[in-house]
Amino acid sequence: MFRSRSKDEQAAPSKVTADQPQQPRNPQAPKGRPTPKRSEAQSQRRSLAKTPSNRKDAARRQREARRADLARQREALAGGDERYLPLRDKGPVRRFARDFVDSRFVVAEFFLPLAVIILVLSMVQAGAMQSYVLLLWMLVILLIVINSFVLAFQLKRALRKRFPDENLRGAVPYALMRTLQMRRLRLPKPQVKRGERP
């Protein structure tokens, strides 16, 4: 069981391979796959050469690729390049919804400045000021709700007319969320002027 192999047993495999003739492949015989173009072969060799050797290099390359993608996405959000926008903002339906909102004056976009003003006024301890501040809060919220309902109704109608065969799911909430942002802080940046029809 633990004895070493004999010389005959060790030599046996070499005899078997020697007995079988080694036939060279005929150069005219098909190799079963097309010859790649030079550019393809070079790019394949480069990609093999660039393959990371350890996990740390692979993680570093992944981080760099993610950073490059995010930078490209930021540029697209600033410039409106449709190719690199996030999935949430892509497509003609979302673009139309953005343009529809950006072409109008919307009460909701002034909510933050109005909230700051109302907050400052609420600190004033004059007699009737607190009731006026509360009334102002109620008025602002009521205006935002009414304006949002009207905008949602108009946008739905315009989307159905413009894109009868497209999937319109989520376009109206997307537009209403955009109304809550101040115009200059919106991303992707507005591509239409106020009053300009999309």
Structure tokens at 138: 């109620």
Residues 82, 51: Cα–Cα separation, whole Å: 31
Q: What is the pLDDT of residue 125?
A: 79
- Residue among 141, 121, 143, 142 at smallest CA distance from 132: 121
pTM for the whole structure? 0.65
Residues 192, 13: Cα–Cα separation, whole Å: 80
Q: What is the pLDDT of residue 28?
A: 67
End-to-end CA separation in angstroms for the chain: 88
Residue 179 main-chain phi, psi, to 5 deg: -65, -25
Q: Each residue's pLDDT tens digit in the chain (198 positions)?
A: 565 555 555 544 544 444 444 566 666 666 767 787 888 888 777 766 566 678 888 888 889 888 988 888 888 787 777 778 888 898 999 999 999 999 999 999 999 999 999 889 888 877 788 888 899 999 999 999 999 999 999 999 999 999 998 889 999 999 999 999 999 899 899 989 988 887
CA distances from 185 to 78, 130, 135, 180, 194 (A): 10, 31, 29, 10, 15
Structure tokens at 99: 């343009």
Contacts 24+ apart (CB under 8 A), 161-169: 162/96, 163/92, 163/93, 163/96, 166/92, 166/93, 167/93, 168/93
